Amino acid sequence: MKKLFSALSIAMLVGLFGAPAKADTIKLAVTDLVGLEELQREFGEFVTVLEDATGHEIEFLPVTNRTAAAEALRFGKVDFVLTGPAEYVVMKKRTNADIVVGFSRPDYFAVLITLAENGYNLPTDLKGQKVALGSVGSTSKHLGPIQVLADYGLKPLNDVEIIHTKVPVAWEALKKGDVAAMGVNHINFLSLRDKEAASGGLPPGAFRIVGRGPDLPNDVLMVGPHVDKSIVDTFRTAFVERSDDLIAAILAGEDNKKYSGMRFISNIKDSNYDYVRAMYDTAGYPEYADFIGN
């Protein structure tokens, strides 16, 4: 009888006041997206599924740049931040935030591309030449390619002339012979090469990869040290138990097609990012305490 009375009491309370409220609102930022509209377009469906999986209401916190995201995390203004490998090492140093889960990106590595007819075969052949790279501070379009040069014994800041520009501009410069090589991530290269052939331009065989780096560390969802451990555990569990649903939701965003074929990785160590720290050293920022080009 007591159990029946308790059940009826709860039912009456729900009827009077509605269903129990969700847990405290969680704030989420994504470092490579600016503006609430863009966040909603790319990650709106993902957040809806994550809310259902965790029971927490999630609110986007738009940030203007990587430094703003790091400061928001440091001062507890945001709880979770989705960011890339280059951003992670700086945020870790400035905030001591932890990794919740990794977002793997298949075929995510840096390559150095040349025209096959120019006779370059190794990164060392590029000494004294112009090399076009993407935006300053990008893991796969700047830091990754210069580390490939360094891995072959070159000193990128002295041995080549680095030109930073947008990827499509670098591609055209490579085809015209204005630069000897371009550095970019592998998926970008394949996309550019396919579009080139489809438009009646140079065939795939006109290009050569003369150097590639190892697969880059994963993008990560970071959590600030101010967030209660029970909440973090709830989110980690959600990424395991609702993995397929969350991946499908991520891929609803057009920019997030880079995650096609992904999986969530839970056993990530901070030491996995030491290669990225080496990139900062190569770029002339051995303390990796500040974002490059922010």
Give the model confidence (pLDDT) of 208-223 as tens digits: 999 999 999 999 999 9
| Beta-bridge mates of residue 181 | 131
Low-confidence winner among 20-24, 171-175, 251-255, 286-290 (lowest mean pLDDT): 20-24
Domain with CATH 3.40.190.10 in the chain: 22-106+217-282, 110-212
Q: Are 70 and 90 in contact (CB under 8 A)?
A: yes
Q: At what angle do helices 229-241 and 243-250 cross, to 10 degrees?
A: 80
Q: Are 115 and 177 in contact (CB under 8 A)?
A: yes
pLDDT tops 70 at residue 14:
no
| Beta-bridge mates of residue 161 | 130
- Distance CA(283)–CA(264), nearest Å, equals 30
What pLDDT, on a 0 to 100 scale, did the predictor assign at position 253? 83
Cβ-Cβ contacts under 8 Å for 116 (sequence gap 6 or more): 205, 206, 207, 208
Structure tokens belonging to residue 285: 């920022």
Q: Are 287 and 92 in contact (CB under 8 A)?
A: no
Q: In whole angstroms, how far apart are CA 78 and each of 23, 28, 58, 69, 227?
A: 16, 6, 11, 8, 10
Cβ-Cβ contacts under 8 Å for 225 (sequence gap 6 or more): 95, 96, 97, 98
pLDDT tops 90 at residue 277:
yes
Q: Are 133 and 173 in contact (CB under 8 A)?
A: no
Number of neighbouring beta carbons within 10 Å of residue 179: 24
What pLDDT, on a 0 to 100 scale, did the predictor assign at position 33? 85
pLDDT tens per residue, range 22-79: 447 999 999 988 889 999 999 999 999 999 999 999 999 999 999 999 999 999 999 9
pLDDT tens per residue, range 96-109: 899 999 999 899 99
Supply the mean pLDDT for the chain.
90
Q: Tell me, which fold does domain 110-212 have in CATH?
A: D-Maltodextrin-Binding Protein; domain 2 (3.40.190)
CATH number corresponding to 22-106+217-282: 3.40.190.10
Structure tokens belonging to residue 269: 């160590």
